[in-house]
Copies of this chain bind each other. A is one copy, B any other.
Amino acid sequence: MPQLSELSGQMPASPIRKLVPFANAAKKRGIKVYHLNIGQPDIPTPENVLEAIRQYNEPLIAYTQSQGTESYRQGLARYYQKHGIDVTADDIIVTTGGSEALLFTVGSIANPGDEIIIPEPYYANYNSFVTLFKVKVVPVQSRIEDNFALPPVEAFEELITPRTKAILYSNPSNPTGYVYSKEEIGKLRQLALKHDIFIIADEVYREFIYGDTKHHSILHQPDMETHGIIVDSVSKRYSMCGARIGAVVSKNKELMASVLKFAQARLSPPTLGQYASEAALDTPQSYFDEVIDEYKTRRDILIEGLESIPGVKIGYPKGAFYLMAELPVDDTDRFARWLLESFSHNGETVMVAPASGFYSNPALGSKQVRIAYVLNTADLRRSVELLRMAIEQYNQEK
């Protein structure tokens, strides 16, 4: 057969995906698997969104403009303004999920061989976009002992080269749950202005903050018209990952003209998803209050449970719905697979995301796992109990 492309060989398969066949095999053996490994919330989509879908009465499902419908972009602009982010519909291009927003952004700013600095651990999927454009990820390590706070700005600055195009971070962070402060983001802003590089802020978890910290956007910072770019998505905000609606938000006209060309190449973002996302803008504050309350409760249960397991170290999260934990095992890739292949208690086991996929150098994550608290509180308690028993048994068997 004809040879496939080099890119095809390079496209990363994450350590989590490699575990999926083992999870499926466990299920075939009748084992119940608690999924602490995925970012698919179980929270219902707001009723106003579901009701709007049931009221859909267009005669045809037509293409929209490549940048998204005028009315949705107007509505989104009002949403951002409400959050103190001063943008208009012209500063927004609607994308097919946050993934595409990042794809178009990286494609617009970076040549092959260019560098993007990312505090690690970072969202494993970032590797796909940089692979596609042959961009080099330059990691800056954050540490579990600091709950994964922003590393000192000097650590960033010494990595900046003539090929550095941007600093990319997610805030609140997937996978660490860390929420960057105004001061931390202010330091990145100064770097961006001094070295003329972009700041790409993945703010898809904006609403998911527990406690008094306020979300601080890159576009809250002054003078970020040229250098600041928000990557956003409705996926987590309204528990509608399947809508596949995101956005690139920036006041940089030249950048946005480039993003639009990428957007035109795929014609139109999903029409039904945009329709649902526009309805989602009317979601009452009470929905968020309940959801945030629920996640806060889950977080606290998870932390309490993990703290009771000897040898576990926790990166305490303030946002999103993940935390990174260090486990007292030799290797979390091996342990995660063992959980699915060789462990069960009363016919149940648990699936976690080994952290190797969240680090540029997989070895750095070899003792850590990411745990998503997207299960209800009873399942979460049971999952932590399973984890506790599993760690003990795993270390005895060795």
Residues of A at the B interface (CB closer than 8 Å) are 1-2, 4-8, 11-14, 17, 40-45, 49-50, 53-64, 96-97, 99-100, 103, 107-111, 114, 125, 128-129, 132-133, 165-166, 196-198, 226-227, 239-244, 252, 254-255, 258, 261-262, 264-273, 276
Contact = CB atoms under 8 A, between A and B. Distances in A.
A258 B272 CA distance: 28
A4 B272 contact: no
A138 B125 CA distance: 34
A285 to B, nearest CB: 20
A129 B61 contact: no
A111 B268 CA distance: 27
Contacts of A55: 54
Given A11-B258, A267-B125, A269-B244, A45 B17 contact: no
Contacts of A133: 5, 7
Contacts of A267: 97, 99, 125, 241
A161 B142 CA distance: 50
A58 to B, nearest CB: 8
B5 A108 contact: yes
A252 B61 contact: no
Specify how many copies of this chain sit in the oligomer: 2
B44 A50 contact: no
A258 B132 CA distance: 13
B270 A273 contact: yes
A305 to B, nearest CB: 25
Nearest to A262: B11
A102 to B, nearest CB: 10
Nearest to A131: B265
A39 B146 CA distance: 55
Contact of A258 (B8, B14, B54): B8
Contact of A196 (B2, B261, B270, B273): B2
Nearest to A66: B17
B61 A255 contact: no
Contact of A5 (B44, B57, B111, B271): B111
Contacts of A273: 270, 272-273
Given A1-B252, A61-B241, 11 more contacts: A1-B227, A5-B109, A8-B107, A44-B60, A45-B61, A61-B239, A61-B276, A64-B242, A244-B244, A244-B268, A272-B273
8 contacts: A1-B252, A5-B108, A5-B109, A8-B258, A53-B56, A54-B55, A61-B241, A64-B242
A24 B197 CA distance: 36
A166 B3 CA distance: 11
A312 to B, nearest CB: 29
Contacts of A244: 96, 244, 268-271
Given A5-B111, A109-B4, A276-B61, A97 B252 contact: no
Given A11-B265, A125-B267, A266-B100, A56 B59 contact: no
- Which has the most chain B C-beta neighbours within 10 Å: A12, A166, A268? A268
Contact of A241 (B2, B50, B63, B227): B63
Nearest to A53: B56
A42 B100 CA distance: 28
A264 B63 contact: no
A50 B40 CA distance: 27
Nearest to A277: B61
A96 to B, nearest CB: 6
Nearest to A9: B258
Given A2-B109, A2-B196, A7-B107, A272 B254 contact: no
